[in-house]
A and B are shown apart, each in its own frame.
Chain A
């Protein structure tokens, strides 16, 4: 699975960083989310799922690897 972050939708709440700080970070200039690891390890999936649940802007989702 591959993580997708829609930076246009992101409202820089920081919720994803709090849920999975090894996977998400925030840009210095405006706090918008950036991906540290697009391909989460199996043991990170729970935290990523948590980030998806709490993202207030619904800006994070998972896509199968085969999708470009």
Chain B
């Protein structure tokens, strides 16, 4: 497929005045049709799936592939080398085989047992924040350390190395960085994890990396795949939740009546509902779930041919009025549980029970302990991550 002058370019720019909303041009596409065509950076044309129902149908369809090395795959950026960043870009049965090796620690009840530990991490960081300079950058002082400390503990990665892997993952998920540099960053963390796995083989601990070592020793996993899985969990485990914390705080500060509702309630149901609604409203993985069709697929009156690319921007599906009434309103009391902020289909987020718990603890603690929390700049001066795989803010200056 080649570009034609009439095909719109994807991704589309957000409106700087509405930093929480999907690009206005995406909304136009959604109104036009459930499936439209867009052109991407390398000049290729792909299907854009604009509506909630069709996004879910396609992402759950076994006839689509998440394999970035397949012909026709709508790449977000050029890829360098042939290394796969974990099972997120592999198909079943290999995807299922690898995913199931790490699902046990993410089971809902296992994760819920981590609540006291996550509460303590959160409280300690708030103590430090309050004892430190005012104003402060919430990203650096709080939003990033919470999930980072948690995932390090779960994986068995020493937190003392956080500057190293945070720096590298920042590079890795920034699409405006040259592909060679991004590949080098991935390789740095992969090398680090390979060394760490070797250490764990000598002295195993009660952590997820040691569990992977067990699989390697049992001949079920290659050392390279083990490092790939570790890389995926380490990166996915902190950058995402961190952005939800910082961007969620900004969204609440901009919607003071919603913030007051959350701060004034100690009902865990409202807190849980607030988390689902903020996940829906912000949909931080705004780069589109990307797939390629393995067979012809008939959907919504169109035929997606085998080999054609498919892009499902979940921030758009989550603002579909067919699935959510008044979708552009942030309403913490609505039932938003059917959102697609964690994707849909077999690749739906593995870490979702953990992400939910972290956000429940943070949103129910931060604004109650610092009731005067406010933005220490204007919204138009906040640096948004428009060039990221994950949407959010690079910095969030706050005062209290």
Contacts and interface: CB of A to CB of B under 8 A. Distances in A.
A50 interface: yes
Contacts, number: 68
Q: How large is the interface on A (under 10, 10 to 19, 20 to 34, 35 or more residues)?
A: 20 to 34
Given A11-B96, A11-B348, A14-B352, A56 B106 contact: no
A56 B60 contact: yes
Interface in A1-57: 11-15, 17-19, 21, 25-26, 28-32, 50, 53-54, 56-57
B103 A12 contact: yes
Interface string B346-360: 101110110010000
B248 interface: no
B96 A17 contact: no
B109 interface: yes
Nearest to A53: B338
Contacts of B17: none
Contact of A26 (B109, B338, B342, B345): B109
A17 B109 contact: yes
Contacts of B108: 14, 17-18, 21, 26
B344 to A, nearest CB: 5
Nearest to B95: A11
B344 A56 contact: yes
Contact of B106 (A14, A50, A54): A14
Interface of B: 59-60, 96, 99-100, 103-104, 106-109, 111, 337-338, 342-346, 348-350, 352-353, 356
